[in-house]
Structure 1
């Protein structure tokens, strides 16, 4: 393991150690507009160059009055300036608060005010406008720093202006930067992340420097553990592709791991650029939420179908080979005989092209934030693309469990990260303990005590079982459905499996609590359903019209029938309705981290749900 953590007491101290060790190596790549209308290019920052920019931001914030543990909010999509601002806040001794860029003006104001933020970094004029609209509700904000946009000479200044102020101080007092960092203690607040609110009002989670140092050390120990088992995890020569929302704890975790290990990260939060960027960056690893893997898989299916019946038959045959290969490998074996020959043929016809789609150099990918359908994981695994499903919460600084490359078990989230303890309560709830567990919720009296015992065990709210040390999560404690006959149904597992059976749907919402049977709402995927419509002579219909089309209903029914075939009777979906719109962040139906807000969807479409129960089965 790198000695980056030797004698450090904070994330900024770890960052300075990394700079001393890797100063001339590339730290970040990021897209910049090409000159004179030319295509985008990728610029690079070395660790030393990153340090210089972070220093100027930190000293600029010091001039603005940022004191130890003072909060500064960041309202921006994932981009290199987000990272520089975050490190600048930490190196000034402050604590970062995250605001999803998709947040409404009122939600942004709530988080900014509740956190007590005194400075807000805003991505562009749209974010500034939200803050300006709510200015009377955020009286504690003394300055807004905009990445893309102009200052107003008063409340709003540009990032370049902030850095210029900091550069002046660096010239006058060159020792100040490291003095500020030396004053930061492990128990000082580092991050105040607000949960994405899938079950109600967002909660501010307090994570200190010790939390992140624990996670960094755990990443290093995991890399050693994996290396000793004969596999490679992450080292200084790796390249990470990072698109994850940095407002979410998963993205922050990947940055802390980068500082610990020292690998390069290519940063671009534009989801629609992921596939194209992968071919350019050619990363060795990346992290994503299941929806991204579903979209890639769905795109491959559509391409195969559009290639004609013969090409689609080849794809389906190759997918079957991938599944059989994956199951052999899950048991610790390697394909032999006929299966080995079939894999070689499938690799030449399908798998090699799929790997090239991801850049051709991936050692592994990490999936988190929501359940990954085992069928989907096996498809990629059998094709030579390993997805390591993991698990964590904002309250546990993200990284808590992950599958190991030497022991992939689909349907589980693997074993605990080094240093994390786990036990299962009598009611099945997963309890966790370790240095990654939060210090508490912010401004919520009693809420911390509800989930965090005096003995340090954190109640996750998730239900699960341990299988040979691997954790299988069966559902959220608050989302378990209990039918009127007293039978329990875990909707998340059903919903994630449907994703692999119906590439034309983005979401299945299973409903049935205190009802006689389960029904479902189906949201179509705007991209793949358009391709399906074209192939079935329905390209003249728009999205809304397709949701009412009998052929579309028959296609979804076929997928539901296949889903039901492997479910116990009380878990089967008896009826469904196709929603007139896809679920969106803007409508409050999914969180910015792409988790479904089940209660919000059920409330919005309660008439459709009632209609299905009013009819006879």
Structure 2
């Protein structure tokens, strides 16, 4: 199958903008709780009318401060209620939101503020303000006029500032933008080179959410629909869920500290969540490690195997009676506790940002949590494809959403068309023309395939394909995804371009290592046990399992365990936890060369 299209099943508005959802909610469902805010006194509901009132008040402050139509306003903060409030206030003022990851360095902040010509910044606290000051000193930022801080009551300051702006003046601002106008500039996280600003229009979001909310009605359109955001709202994946929740009136909460996530999930009790695959891997590995530490490792392993087998059987004619009985037993012993860790009410999860993997997909469905894997990029306003509750094929990223077409290029690259494809890169026509060809197809840079039912499978990155000395093309993502599924493995990099065989660099998970070390009678840190036979054997087991997914010529033949970690702070990972291959390859050049000596 070289091309597949899903017809559009509904009419997308040709007028208006994203602020219309807030106005409609306040008019039609004024007392409906559309948000829950975390406070020292617990979670407090915010009604549609209250949210509309707060958004208008803050938007008036932006207008009074001199923010004009089309001006860029940056948000530099963790995921929190005020992020969403300000996002909509910026749109009400007719301006454009520029999200910045709260972990960004002063250099990264400076580049984004300079490139976007940002007029104002709302930062979270003192640390962020310090980085903005450093960025101003290092970069020419003549457009930047205002910097507010949430910890210094930015919301109240803006509300007081806008007290004299009339409702009529704000309504004129609010209705200025149409579907073709830019709503946000989201800068790519930059696995290679400097980040580029993706221009996403109101129409891009209106198309994406108009389709997605209808297709995922089991998630968004129920009386108890709710979700807790804990991914960075600077990421398009979290942003699309935010806008979808507002559009559908699904109750939305925010969790800003991953350390409190389990407690927040238990109190909020979301009906669905979204996460990147690394989160699902961590949940599984942590549960496995704890079970092993408590002497229940074999029980957990058996429960895991049963969950996977049960899920696989669902795709057949029927689940065997014996398997159903085993599944029922483990549901009480194991699965229920895992569901409780997600709040106890979560039936669905949405996964994106990287491949989840067949095994984890079946495991989670087997314990009662359907993980709907999708695929998209910042340039495509998130989802191009998604698995649906009634149309799911685990191991794929689903079919194209309605109104979207996919084509497989002659070199295996996936190309897409649809109303969610961005307007281009900010101030960079050359990059835009490279991404969107003359026939209107967006080139994703990802390699994949489409089956005869239209389900898309991602097999690797076009620029990351390794070609061995023997001429064998190898997609590292398949091996890396499988390796990371092991509890002891934190990150890995598959190498071998131009070499006689495939090798790998592996880092050890600092959370699960102490439990493993205690179980095996080891003392000391990872750095002192790099050549320990038991640790090497454990990683070899993970490598052997990963190699089952590929041919002998593509298999990992040698690996090296590294003493350190690859982190966002260290510059090896993007904020969405993707590996910066070029950075790791540069930093680990000696270790890679050592793999092939002799």
TM-score of the aligned structures, taking structure 2 as reference length: 0.94
- Indicate whether 1:124 and 2:125 are aligned: yes
Q: What is the deviation of 1:274?
A: 2.2
Measure how far apart 1:499 and its partner are: 2.2
1:20-43, Cα deviation, whole Å (9 max, x unpaired): 222211122232235xxxxxx223
Q: Kindly indicate whether residue 563 of structure 2 is the aligned counterpart of residue 580 of structure 1.
A: yes
Question: Following TM superposition, by how much is the alpha carbon of 1:297 offset from its aligned partner in structure 2, in angstroms?
Answer: 0.3
Cα distance between partner residues in 2 of 1:609 and 1:346? 43
- Offset, 1:410: 1.7
Q: Given the alignment, which residue of 591, 600, 603 partners 2:574?
A: 591
- CA shift, 1:276, in A, is 2.4
CA distance in 2, matches of 1:585, 1:125: 21
Q: Does the 8 Å CA contact 1:188/1:209 hold for their aligned counterparts?
A: yes
The 3-state SS of whatever aligns with 2:167 is coil
Question: Distance in 1 between the 2:341 and 2:587 partners?
Answer: 38
Structure 2 match to 1:101? 102
What is the CA deviation profile of residues 179-225 of structure 1, one whole-angstrom value per residue up to 9, with x for unaligned ones?
A: 2112222211110000000122111100111111111211233135x
Tell me if the contact between 1:575 and 1:612 (Cα under 8 Å) persists in the aligned partners.
Answer: yes
Query: Does the 8 Å contact 1:4/1:17 carry over to 2?
Result: no
1:307-365 CA-partner distances (Å, limit 9, x unpaired) = 21xx222211111111111111134x442311111111121221122111212211210
Residue equivalent to 1:38? none
| Distance (whole Å) between structure 1 residues aligned to residue 391 and residue 294 of structure 2 | 36
Q: Deviations over 1:571-590 (max 9, x none)?
A: 11111111221111011100
**Aligned equivalents of 1:245 and 1:276: distance in 2?**
19
Alignment of 1:392-431 (within 5 A): 392-431=376-415
**1:112-511 to 2 correspondences below 5 Å:** 112-136=113-137, 137=139, 138-149=141-152, 158-166=154-162, 168-170=163-165, 173-223=166-216, 234-235=221-222, 237-308=224-295, 311-331=296-316, 333-467=317-451, 468-500=453-485, 502-511=486-495
Q: Could you state the TM-score of these two structures normalised by the residue count of structure 1? A: 0.92
Distance 1:461 1:291 in 2: 21
Whether 1:23 aligns to 2:38 is no
Question: The residue matched to 1:614 in structure 2 has which SS?
Answer: coil
* CA distance in 2: counterparts of 1:547 and 1:53, whole angstroms: 55
CA distance in 1 between partners of 2:145 and 2:305 (Å): 60
Q: How many residues align?
A: 586
Q: Is the 8 A contact 2:219 2:272 kept in 1?
A: no
- Secondary structure of the structure 2 residue equivalent to 1:191: strand
SS at match of 1:526: coil
Q: Secondary structure at the match of 1:450?
A: helix
- The separation in 2 between residues aligned to 1:245 and 1:525, in whole angstroms, is 22
Aligned 8 A contact 1:4 1:14 in 2: no
Instruction: Output the aligned Cα RMSD.
Output: 1.8
Give CA deviations for 1:441-467 in whole Å, capped at 9, x if unaligned: 012231101111233211111111111
Distance across 2 between alignment mates of 1:233 and 1:445: 37
Specify whether residues 43 and 405 from structure 1 end up closer, same or farther in structure 2 by C-alpha distance, changes over 3 A only: same
Partner residue, 1:75:
76
Query: Match for residue 155 of structure 1?
Result: none
1:612 aligns with 2:595: yes
Deviation at residue 531 of structure 1 after TM alignment: 1.8
How many Å separate the matches in 2 of 1:334 and 1:592? 42
Do 1:59 and 1:92's aligned partners in 2 also have CA atoms closer than 8 Å?
A: yes
The answer on 1:90 being equivalent to 2:91 is yes
Give how far 1:234 is off.
3.8
